[in-house]
Structure 1
């Protein structure tokens, strides 16, 4: 109650009103646009038909909550637990609770489900995890990345000089993919699946500002959101060009019932969370449903680069931003930005 009272007197109230109106409008168009998309039943049936003739190794970066949790749970369910599943994130207690509900693998599968703790906002942490994984994993079949957090802060640099939101939503994802490519290539050499999914905002970007990559000079919350969406598009396109036999997918999950607002570092967003969730609950997709849709998009993507929407449907290259020049400059910038001093 105190949170709601403070919210009513908050100078950010107009922002909430604008946000609410925007979500209502978006929800209307989302509802209209789902008519020709695959149904949940169709998606579940397709995912249930996934019966690999090998034992998969799957990594879920950001799988301790939200959409990443939903995808990890769907994957565990459809593989009947017979996969080496690794959840990477910050919250061990949450990961342990999620893993405890996974189907137990059969003894013949000789696999385990595990958690690796990592604050992915720091590239040195990402490198420590990828280096350790490469020493003990003979291959990786699936790399799913969905870490994120919701904040109203302006540019908030980590000790490595990268804005925290950009670090989590782009740079860490790039580094996980780049570092783990040898294990993904090994899976492909074995004749198995090698697939990468970044869950963010496919089709929601803008032209890349090549004069301010990393947004050190022109940062704003709005620009950070649209630029990082374009960065993820270009990231997947670039990795696919260099690794044409591997599948690279960028997805837009749409409106999902997550705890992103309630776990924000902003008191305003935490107070607004129950109001917003209550208003839009009927049009929000559950974590379980979103997990099915995103898994469907991952499993059905062909070789190379593709983008999928909120129901796992192929959205093609509509609203794709990024020239060859932008791709080249972003790649070179990212290599330098994610370097870790020894």
Structure 2
């Protein structure tokens, strides 16, 4: 079994620490946690919101789902989409519930889906469209941590890119009719993809999907730009709907502990200890990410770890890249009728 050298491991840790220190600390002009909580608490919609959280069974997605449930006091239809039913049930059980004398209807449910396969995503979005009169919020934050080379699913997509990009595109595309119905009713229609806004690179237009030139480092910087271009194009095609790409910064999650790479799992306690002063809790990150979703007007937005507006800082897109990536994605995520 191949194991990275100690030098490579230590170098990776130092880079991670430097990145966390530089990017995760609030600076001048960024909203404070108290201000963000106050703004989130002011979210009192006149309608019953329907919110979908893809990847909400753990990590950042869990933090955002819990913040949403907290600020709506549970008076919403909340759907957690993921693989782990036991984890989802435990999270849903802790959501606040309207009081017995409160006539507000609420539904908190779990939908199982392995998002590495596009046929699963298509089946779930079809089911949700059929059951939901509209969808107000779509939050996507599924993660995948492994340092092996290209790892193709049976559908021919790299597993990491499938989770971080292709499945997200397919969720948005599949649920657009329900988001449009919410907008037509005069309600919120908002989409949030949590990945790495501002931490991308120029994409390789000659190898979209990285079938020929895949490396872990290349995938790590291509996926954020894929997300930028995806949401920007969806915004251009759907005026009136809000699309947000967020960078959450360093967050204390268990993603390293659940990695398929044994040495990443083994290094988790060390990494957690070294980065702890520079990272935020799931509770705090949930508040910041929810604020980034709720407090943006229609169109395409990029926000940072404190929900601050990143504008087009470190943006690597172009009209040609948007067009070619879109065409590639339509083909790559198509599900055979057979």
Q: TM-score range by the shorter chain?
A: over 0.9
Work out the CA distance in 2 between the residues paired with 1:34 and 1:93: 39
Counterparts of residues 1-342 of structure 1 (less than 5 Å): 11-30=4-23, 34-106=27-99, 107-342=102-337
Q: Which TM-score applies when normalising by structure 2?
A: 0.97
Indicate conservation of the 8 Å contact 1:64/1:94, yes or no.
yes
Q: How large is the Cα RMSD of the aligned pairs? A: 1.4
SS in 1 for 2:115: coil
Cα shift at 1:26? 1.6
Cα pair distance change 1:147/1:32, threshold 3 Å:
closer
Indicate conservation of the 8 Å contact 2:195/2:247, yes or no.
yes
Task: Name which of structure 1's ranges 35-44 and 293-302 shifts more when overlaid on structure 2.
Answer: 35-44
* Residues paired across the two proteins, number: 335
Work out the CA distance in 2 between the residues paired with 1:314 and 1:31: 14
Work out the CA distance in 2 between the residues paired with 1:62 and 1:155: 22
Q: Which TM-score applies when normalising by structure 1?
A: 0.96
Segments of structure 2 that go 5 or more residues without pairing to the other structure are none
Indicate conservation of the 8 Å contact 1:83/1:105, yes or no.
no
Deviations 1:132-176 (A, max 9, x none): 111110000000000011101110000000000000000000000
Work out the CA distance in 2 between the residues paired with 1:197 and 1:331: 18
Segments of structure 1 that go 5 or more residues without pairing to the other structure are 1-5
Indicate conservation of the 8 Å contact 1:105/1:112, yes or no.
no
Indicate conservation of the 8 Å contact 2:13/2:271, yes or no.
yes
Work out the CA distance in 1 between the residues paired with 2:98 and 2:5: 49
Work out the CA distance in 2 between the residues paired with 1:261 and 1:34: 27
